[in-house]
């Protein structure tokens, strides 16, 4: 079947970059786009006219929220040591346990993938937290994840996360590292088995991803074997790196080099590497190494950095110059990483923070942010058939409604969306030519039931915090409302 989508605006791709069509059309058949422009000369079987809307390439989330996001719990609730987002020594000695059942683990991905689709994201590299897990992820869990992704129709790069260590809080409140290298290597073996079994399944919706949890929780052998496996399978490696001062200094102490220097040494500093968050390099004013060595490593390599501005801004951090990285030729993609799973929200915050830190409005543009969420993500994955609307590209297409009163007086589609829009303005989504969302509804999803289950499950997660937290404080000392409870102040229950 040949389908024609029409709208008042279409973002096409001319071979060099995005361009804007007024009263444009996108025509596709099967899973491929045939035509972008105006006045398609052929015949079509079906036409959908979305009216005052923007048709654009599906967004690519390189660090997609795949969880019921626990990082939101850090908002004004103290540091992770106090609130149970870092294991205590007592909890480690008792033996870590799984907070969710297998069915609840499945549900969190169903909920997360549905939310990603609702926000215009068509390709996702999901990320979840390990702190409420017994250790890391496993093969069967991701067989279930692949099944859910295929059912919902989202394009997903996935594989179980693995790690050989974890940081914890000692009884004297200092931080220690617990290592279990055998467990990490066994996790890598499961990840490789998953990649070999599932890569290309779902008519290409599922692609294998190697996902060591974070650089400071990996041993040299684990990263070296990951690099070798990535080269053998031609699989991307997504590794959280250069995301905190603690990580930078710990890696420097353990490995006698910076995190980027260690990636270079293990063979991971290459075009298959996808690195969230890329903030703390040598030369950064908050780290101990003032040299420009990491900048030289970064600009000489072909790695991609994943910019996740919202989650860092929430705690006072930021990439110090998006424009400088882009001007140096470093490939930048975008990620959500936290709730809301909204790349429009991250484009807006990323644009504003970049301009504040750069001191002007000339180094980072609205186009730079949109390019990162589309072409930058595609480049990170080695794909020239994603992130663009052009003949021959995959029919990953989203439609953003432009009629919402919250958008204000209309003047330009993408500027209106990035200034005042939100991901929930996404009205329709096609992935590989399949309509996975129409009129704001994802398939046959019961949104109310989905949200009710998410609320129940998140309450269970919150209730589990005292068991992990240093000193096992009661729940009311971990989570604080913005203002004190009136009943408590009055001596009530």
Predicted local distance difference test score (pLDDT) of residue 493? 43
368 shares its domain with 428: no
| Sheet architecture: strand order including 206-208 | 59-65, 121-127, 155-158, 206-208
CATH code for the domain in which residue 278 is found: 3.20.20.140
397 shares its domain with 360: no
pLDDT digits (tens, 9 = 90+) for 437-475: 999 999 999 999 999 999 999 999 999 999 999 999 999
Q: CB within 8 A of 442, min separation 6: which ones?
A: 114, 117, 118, 152, 436
pLDDT digits (tens, 9 = 90+) for 26-66: 999 999 999 999 999 999 999 999 999 999 999 999 999 99
Q: Which two tokens stand for residue 394?
A: 């995959």
Model confidence at 11: pLDDT above 50: yes
14 shares its domain with 84: no
The number of domains in the chain is 2
Q: Is residue 234 part of a domain?
A: yes
Measured from the Cβ of residue 17, the count of other Cβ atoms closer than 10 Å reads: 10
> How long is the chain?
493
Q: Is residue 477 part of a domain?
A: no
pLDDT digits (tens, 9 = 90+) for 327-364: 999 999 999 999 999 999 999 999 999 999 999 999 99
Last residue of a domain, one of 426, 444, 462: 444
292 shares its domain with 183: yes
Predicted local distance difference test score (pLDDT) of residue 488? 67
Q: Is residue 481 part of a domain?
A: no
With cut-offs at 50, 70 and 90, classify the pLDDT of residue 487. confident
Domain that holds residue 16: 1-57+387-444
Model confidence at 492: pLDDT above 60: no
Predicted local distance difference test score (pLDDT) of residue 491? 54
CATH code for the domain in which residue 421 is found: 2.30.40.10
Rounded CA separation 226/205 (Å): 23
Q: CB within 8 A of 111, min separation 6: which ones?
A: 68, 450, 453, 454
Model confidence at 415: pLDDT above 70: yes
Single pTM value for the model: 0.97
46 shares its domain with 65: no
Dihedrals φ, ψ of 280, to 5°? Answer: -100, 95
Measured from the Cβ of residue 128, the count of other Cβ atoms closer than 10 Å reads: 23
336 shares its domain with 425: no
351 shares its domain with 373: yes
Q: Is residue 474 part of a domain?
A: no
409 shares its domain with 335: no
Rounded CA separation 25/36 (Å): 6
Asked if 123 and 202 touch (Cβ cutoff 8 Å), the reply is: no
Q: Is residue 484 part of a domain?
A: no
197 shares its domain with 247: yes
Q: Is residue 462 part of a domain?
A: no
pLDDT digits (tens, 9 = 90+) for 67-113: 999 999 999 998 777 788 899 999 999 999 999 999 999 999 999 99
Mean pLDDT taken over the chain: 96
143 shares its domain with 89: yes
349 shares its domain with 291: yes
131 shares its domain with 254: yes
Torsion of Cα atoms, 77 then 81 then 83 then 84, to 10°: 150
In the chain, pLDDT over 90 holds for what percent of residues?
96
Residue with tokens 């801004």: 313
Q: Is residue 473 part of a domain?
A: no
Last residue of a domain, one of 351, 368, 386: 386
Among residues 427, 418, 396, the alpha carbon closest in space to that of 344 is found at 418
With cut-offs at 50, 70 and 90, classify the pLDDT of residue 301. very high
Which residues are 6's β-sheet partners?
25, 49
Q: Is residue 133 part of a domain?
A: yes
């Amino acid at each position: 079947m040949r389908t024609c989508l029409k709208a008042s605006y279409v973002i096409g791709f001319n071979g060099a970059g995005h361009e804007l069509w007024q009263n444009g059309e996108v025509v596709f058949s099967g899973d491929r786009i045939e035509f972008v422009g105006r006045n398609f000369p052929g015949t079509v079987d079906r036409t959908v006219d979305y009216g005052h809307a923007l048709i654009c390439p599906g967004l690519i989330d390189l660090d997609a929220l795949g969880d019921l996001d626990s990082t939101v719990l850090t908002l004004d609730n103290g540091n992770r040591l106090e609130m149970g987002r870092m294991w205590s020594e007592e909890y480690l000695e008792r033996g870590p346990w799984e907070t969710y059942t297998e069915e609840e683990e499945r549900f969190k991905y169903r909920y997360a993938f549905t939310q990603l689709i609702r926000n215009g994201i068509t390709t996702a590299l999901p990320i979840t937290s390990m702190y409420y897990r017994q250790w890391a992820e496993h093969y069967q869990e991701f067989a279930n994840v692949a099944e859910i992704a295929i059912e919902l129709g989202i394009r997903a790069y996935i594989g179980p996360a693995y790690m050989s260590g974890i940081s914890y809080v000692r009884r004297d409140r200092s931080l220690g590292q617990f290592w279990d290298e055998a467990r990490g290597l066994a996790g890598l073996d499961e990840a490789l088995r998953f990649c070999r079994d599932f890569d290309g399944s779902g008519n290409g919706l599922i692609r294998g991803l190697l996902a060591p949890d974070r650089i400071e929780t990996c041993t040299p052998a684990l990263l070296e074997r990951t690099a070798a496996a990535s080269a053998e399978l031609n699989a991307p490696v997504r590794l959280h790196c250069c995301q905190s001062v603690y990580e930078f200094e710990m890696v420097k102490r353990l490995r006698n080099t910076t995190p980027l220097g260690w990636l270079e040494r293990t063979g991971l500093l290459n075009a298959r590497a996808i690195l969230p968050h890329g903030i703390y390099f040598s030369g950064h004013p908050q780290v101990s190494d003032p040299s420009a060595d990491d900048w030289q490593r970064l600009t000489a390599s072909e790695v991609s950095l994943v910019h996740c501005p919202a989650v860092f801004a929430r705690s006072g951090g930021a990439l110090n110059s998006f424009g400088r990285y882009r001007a140096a030729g470093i490939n930048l993609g975008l990620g959500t990483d936290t709730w809301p799973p909204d790349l429009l929200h991250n484009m807006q915050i990323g644009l504003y923070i970049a301009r504040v830190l750069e001191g002007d409005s000339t180094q980072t543009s609205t186009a730079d942010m949109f390019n990162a969420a589309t072409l930058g993500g595609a480049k990170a994955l080695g794909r020239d058939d994603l992130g663009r609307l052009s003949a021959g590209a995959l029919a990953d297409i989203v439609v953003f409604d432009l009629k919402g009163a919250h958008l204000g007086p209309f003047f330009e589609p993408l500027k209106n969306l990035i200034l005042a829009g939100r991901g929930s303005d996404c009205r329709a989504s096609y992935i590989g030519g399949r309509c996975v969302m129409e009129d704001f509804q994802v398939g046959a999803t019961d949104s109310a039931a989905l949200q009710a289950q998410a609320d129940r499950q998140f309450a269970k997660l919150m209730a589990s915090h005292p068991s992990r937290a240093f000193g096992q404080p009661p729940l009311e000392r971990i989570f604080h409302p913005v203002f004190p409870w009136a009943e408590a102040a009055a001596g009530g229950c």
